[in-house]
Amino acid sequence: MTKLATPAVVGVSAVLGAGLALGAGALGVGGGGTTTTVLRQAPIAANAAQTDGEAAPTAREIYERDAPGVVLVKAAVRQTSQSTSPFGLPQEQDGNSTGSGFVIDGDGTILTNEHVVEGATKVQVTFSNEKTVDAKVVGADQSNDVAVLKVDPKGLGLKPLQLGSAKDVQVGDPVLAIGNPYGLDRTLTTGVVSAKARRIQAPNGFPIENVLQTDASINPGNSGGPLLDGAGRVIGINSQIATGGSGSTGSVGIGFAMPIDTIKRILLDLKKTGRANIAYLGVSTTDAPEEGALPAELNAPTGKGAWVQTVAPGSPAAKAGIRGGRVTVNTTQGPVQIGGDLITKIADRAIEDADDLTAVVAERKPGDRIEVELRRNGEPETVTVTLTRRSDDANAAGSTGDGQGGGSADPFTTP
């Protein structure tokens, strides 16, 4: 069941290499012998790539260094209740949502989830020294569920976190999260990367690609907090969790973090203009079926590529003549649109599946002119597309995004 939870946080919790390692050494004392057990904390890093060849830090060391850079975010919002006033109007009341965030520079820039501060009339952040200050939302992007806050840095002694990259992260690598689950400030949890390249749905309906999945415990209040690698660098923003259903909002060990690489691409735009300039093609696609997966009489394309299912009216793809499917056919893998083009290359980049298409478009800017190679009824075609800026509303854009399939809601909640 799909639920949109109130702003909350994603934390990472699982038993990982932050425990105690036992080492025994025999020490001779006089003529006898005694054995002393030495307790030491094991390093958290899983591989040399995470630490650039330096000694791996422990979870305690990472926490001591990075926790002061994590903040509690409080947003005051106006809520419309179900009851009505004596005049027949909806009642409005003040409410508060809480989440997490983290400092990224000495100028007072803080990152958090957009859903933490959505609709806020006032935002405040509290630091590890219990000092609370007002924050301004200088930029927000619902499509990637990220918001940029700004505080006056004077007298705060800010401790910025180092931004890393999720590109080289592998399944099984250790991760840590610091956040404020259920208001428990600066809680540390640990886990591993459970999977890569997951897809979740943004608050405005667009898909978010290349998301990291972790078994770390993520609960309400962790949203917007950092997911750190074994060296303590930010590789993601904790954003959503899978819950147990039946009204449950707690973690079941399936959490999702926005890759920090995606945020880096739009950060400058958010700080300068308040919004993200995301390139838009205007198609929904799925992977091409394997040979023999569909009846031959359907003449469905096979092989590598992104199979176009729908094309948004008036979109760059529509203006360039890219075609979507015309007939819906129910298959064992669900309904598919038969008759659409198969996109095989964009700007000399080979497209092997729908996720490739999403990634390539995400790397472009509005206004870019690109050559799109495709197969139509088995014949090669090439069209030129001028990308535009994607709307902030998935319905207004007429598509769930440039990528695989879409339309169905994800069974995840924003903690």
Question: What is the per-residue pLDDT across 266-290, written as a single tens digit (0 to 9) for each?
Answer: 999 999 999 988 889 999 888 888 7
Q: Answer yes or no: 115 catalytic.
A: yes
Identified catalytic residue from 97, 100, 115, 239: 115
Report the alpha-carbon distance of residue 128 to residue 145 in Å, rounded.
25
69: pLDDT strictly greater than 60: yes
> Residue 11 contacts by C-beta under 8 Å, 6 or more apart in sequence?
177, 178, 179, 181, 187, 189, 216, 217, 218, 219, 221, 222, 225, 238, 251, 255, 415
Answer for the pair 101, 70: CB distance below 8 angstroms, yes or no: yes
Q: How confident is the model at residue 249, as a pLDDT? A: 62
**How far from chain centre, in Å, is Cα 41?**
31
pLDDT over threshold 60, residue 102: yes
Q: Which of 100, 223, 315, 399 is catalytic?
A: 223
Which pLDDT score is estimated for 216?
A: 86
The arrangement of secondary structure in 279-389, i.e. its CATH architecture, is: Roll (2.30)
- Exactly one of 66, 145, 229, 402 is catalytic; name it: 145
**Annotation says 284 is catalytic:** no
pTM of the model as a whole: 0.71
Confidence of residue 399 (pLDDT cuts 50, 70, 90): very low
H or E element, residue 371: strand 369-376
Class of domain 69-78+93-150: mainly beta
Domain residue spans in the chain? Answer: 69-78+93-150, 279-389
Least confident interval from 300-314, 324-338, 389-403: 389-403
* Known active-site residue 223: yes
Longest dimension (CA), the chain: 94
